[in-house]
Amino acid sequence: MAEDQAQTAERTLVLLKPDALVRGLAGRIISRFEDAALKVVGVKMKQMDAEFTRRHYFDLEERLGSEVYSVTSTFMQQGPVIALVLEGFDAIATVRKIVGSTYPNQAPAGTVRGDFSHYSSAASIASGKAVANLVHASGNRDEAKQEVELWFEKEELQDYRTLAEIYTY
């Protein structure tokens, strides 16, 4: 992070899930983050294997049970994901606001999930499939730090200034 922003800017991880990629929504979703003056400082495409999925969702089984973990793991491994590290002021909260509620049918219009999906918890349970909600976004600072470190080596993250930083901040 640039020196003058070190105390106020934060980084967060966003995953564009397999459903976002197969639907051709990656560019439209990334644009929403950039429109909100969030800076992409890391990006990669990865096919998650069972071991990496377990590392990413290390506590999901404990929190929500083995069935939820199994369905989520299968869903995340069905195709590649795009991992992004976004940086900006209040980046974690801003990203969560942009993506909307975990369950797309509860996400307001104007959010990624509200505009591009409609899947519900009930549909997930009835079908035995994961909630196709297009993106994963870190939930808090501790989670963001852990996830960014899992997905990216320090040298893979870039430091540069955007016009928004120069003229707005």
Gap between the Cα atoms of 74 and 139, Å rounded: 22
Is the predicted pLDDT of residue 161 greater than 80, yes or no?
yes
CATH number of the domain at 149, please. Answer: 3.30.70.141
Could you tell me if residue 169 is inside a domain?
Answer: no
pLDDT at res. 38: 96
Could you tell me if residue 22 is inside a domain?
Answer: yes
pLDDT at res. 5: 46
50-91 pLDDT tens trace: 999 999 999 999 999 999 999 999 999 999 999 999 999 999
Among 136, 132, 110, smallest CA distance to 121 is for 132
118 is catalytic: no
91-137 pLDDT tens trace: 999 999 999 999 999 999 999 999 999 888 888 888 888 889 999 99
Which residues form the domain of 55? 3-164
pLDDT at res. 126: 86
Among 116, 122, 83, 82, smallest CA distance to 98 is for 116
Could you tell me if residue 117 is inside a domain?
Answer: yes
**Which two tokens mark 64?**
């929500």
Q: Which region among 7-16, 28-37, 119-128 has the lowest average model confidence (pLDDT)? A: 119-128
Could you tell me if residue 157 is inside a domain?
Answer: yes
Q: Which region among 4-8, 45-49, 120-124, 135-139 has the lowest average model confidence (pLDDT)? A: 4-8
pLDDT at res. 169: 67
Q: How many domains does the chain have?
A: 1
- Integer CA distances (angstroms), 56 to 18, 69, 74, 115, 158, in order: 15, 11, 13, 26, 22
Is the predicted pLDDT of residue 7 greater than 60, yes or no?
no
Q: What is the DSSP letter of 58?
A: T
Could you tell me if residue 114 is inside a domain?
Answer: yes
Q: How many CA atoms lie within 13 A of 15 on its CB side?
A: 25
Could you tell me if residue 126 is inside a domain?
Answer: yes
Query: Which is catalytic among the residues 38, 88, 136, 151?
Result: 136
Could you tell me if residue 42 is inside a domain?
Answer: yes
The answer to whether the CB of 9 falls within 8 A of the CB of 168 is: no
Could you tell me if residue 27 is inside a domain?
Answer: yes
pTM of the predicted protein model? 0.91
